[in-house]
Structure 1
Amino acid sequence: MLSDEALDRMLRDSDPDPGERATDPDSPVATRILARVRQRTRQRRRRVLVMVPTVALVVTGATAGTYAWVAGDGRGHTLDSTGLSCVSSDNGDAVLSFDPGTDDPVATCRERWPELFGRTAPAALTACVDSSRQGSITVYTGGRDQCRSHRSDPYLGPTEEQLRLSHFRADLRKQFADRTCVSHPDFRKVIGRLLDRHGLTGWSARHFQTADREPEGACADVSHYDETERIIWLGDHKAGTPLSWP
Structure 2
Amino acid sequence: MSFSIEILLGLLAVIAAITVPLIIYFLQKSKKRLAYEVVSNTQLVGVKSEVQNKIKIYYENKLVENVHLVSIRIINSGNQPISIDDFARPISIQLGSSTNILTCEVLEQSPKDLDISILKMQNSVEIQPLLLNPNDSFNLNILLSDYREELEVSARVKGVAKVEIYREPPPVLNLILLFIMGLSVSLCLLYVVFKDLVESYFGTNSEILVYIIISPIIIIFTYIISSLIVEIIKSCFVRKVKEINSEKNEE
User: Per the shorter chain, which TM-score range?
Assistant: under 0.3
Higher relative contact order (CA 8 A, sep 6+): 2
**Structure index of larger Rg:** 2
Richer in strand (by share): 2
Give the structure-1-normalised TM-score.
0.25
Give the structure-2-normalised TM-score.
0.24
